[in-house]
Amino acid sequence: MDYQQILEEIHTEVKPVITQGKVADYIPKLAAVPLNKFGMAVQTLDGKLFSVGDADEYFSIQSISKAHTLILALQFAGENNLLKRVGREPSGNPFNSLVQLEYENGIPRNPFINAGAMVLVDIILSHSKDAVQTILKFVRDRSNNQNIDFDKEVAASEKSTGFRNAALANFLKSYGNLENDVEDVLDIYFSQCSLSMNCIDLARSFMILANHGLSPWSGKQIISKSQAKRINSLMLTCGTYDAVGDFAYRVGLPGKSGVGGGIVALIPGRLCVAVWSPGLNSSGNSLAGTQALELFTTKTGKSIF
Ligand code: DON
């Protein structure tokens, strides 16, 4: 299928909503990102790339990185060990909520809320001394782009105002659900969120999830077919936080969002699609990005259903 024409139509149709969202202002560095950006890229399993707008501009991937660290943590700990420490149900609460963690005795509802992602970091750190480099290498290899890097200013900016995340990490520690130092876990978490990537890198970095665990670049089986299925299921039910029902209803694809305004979604056996527009809705998902993905599945007639 030639997706180029469809991406161009989508770009034109979402233009009026691009500036209606609100940039994430609780991280000072993200508050400075211009609101009028929009990019979208499609990478197909048969090797074709299509893109539109600011698809090659780098931005902060934020929580999208939680899909990458979930894959790494699963590789390190195995499914049974991981599921003792983090659940697999939608939270129905904002991604940085504290209350649920207390009710549920320090076991985060799922790996994509902030507390769940901190447990993933803890697992990676327990298995790999230089966890930050392990995460970087993994993301570079998955995207087939060795130039991807962290944005140290974004990480420092988030750290300077990250009191809520510090509270979550301390909470986890108090329940015995962090093996490593709170400070170390937080530093790695802020670094992974600061990864700077563009829509093309991001679409490519999810290819193993669309390709039943197999890397199209190296030909290696990175995770099993069953693990890819499970991660996609988690994205469908938990990947866009308390707006996950609305996202699944409108888009019909598993997807992972970040407060930098990026969203990656995929159709197993077919393609990955990444979109970026920094204006967010009230749940912290890209406003124009969600609409663009809804238009994508509507116009192509392709979703997982
Ligand atoms: O911890 C935070 O609040 C951010 N570094 C990431 C949050 C995020 O991207 C949630 N996504 N929609």
Q: 190 lies in a domain?
A: yes
Amino acid 1: pLDDT? 86
CB of 39 within 6 A of ligand 1: the answer is no
Backbone angles phi, psi at 261, to 5 degrees: 100, 5
CB of 242 within 6 A of ligand 1: the answer is no
Whose C-alpha lies nearest to ligand 1, atom 11?
A: 258
DSSP secondary structure code for residue 214 in this structure: B
- Chunked mean pLDDT (size 10), the chain, 305 residues: 96 97 95 97 98 98 98 95 96 92 96 98 97 98 98 97 97 98 98 98 98 96 97 97 95 98 98 98 96 98 96
Q: 202 lies in a domain?
A: yes
As beta bridge partners, residue 40 has: 52, 275
Task: Tell me if 172 sits within 8 A of 106, measured CB to CB.
Answer: yes
- Answer whether 0.95 is exceeded by the pTM: yes
Active site amino acids: 63, 66, 189, 241, 259
DSSP letters along 171-197, please?
A: HHHHTT---S-HHHHHHHHHHHHTEEE
Q: 305 lies in a domain?
A: no
Whose C-alpha lies nearest to ligand 1, atom 4?
A: 62
| CA-closest candidate to residue 280, choices 62, 116, 101 | 62
Mean pLDDT of the chain: 97
CB of 284 within 6 A of ligand 1: the answer is yes
CB of 165 within 6 A of ligand 1: the answer is yes
Q: Which tokens belong to 218?
A: 């190296």
Amino acid 144: pLDDT? 97
Q: 94 lies in a domain?
A: yes
Give me the number of domains the chain comprises: 1
Specify the amino acid at residue 15.
K
CATH number of residue 52's parent domain: 3.40.710.10
Q: 41 lies in a domain?
A: yes
Task: Tell me if 275 sits within 8 A of 289, measured CB to CB.
Answer: yes
Question: Residue 60: which domain range?
Answer: 3-300
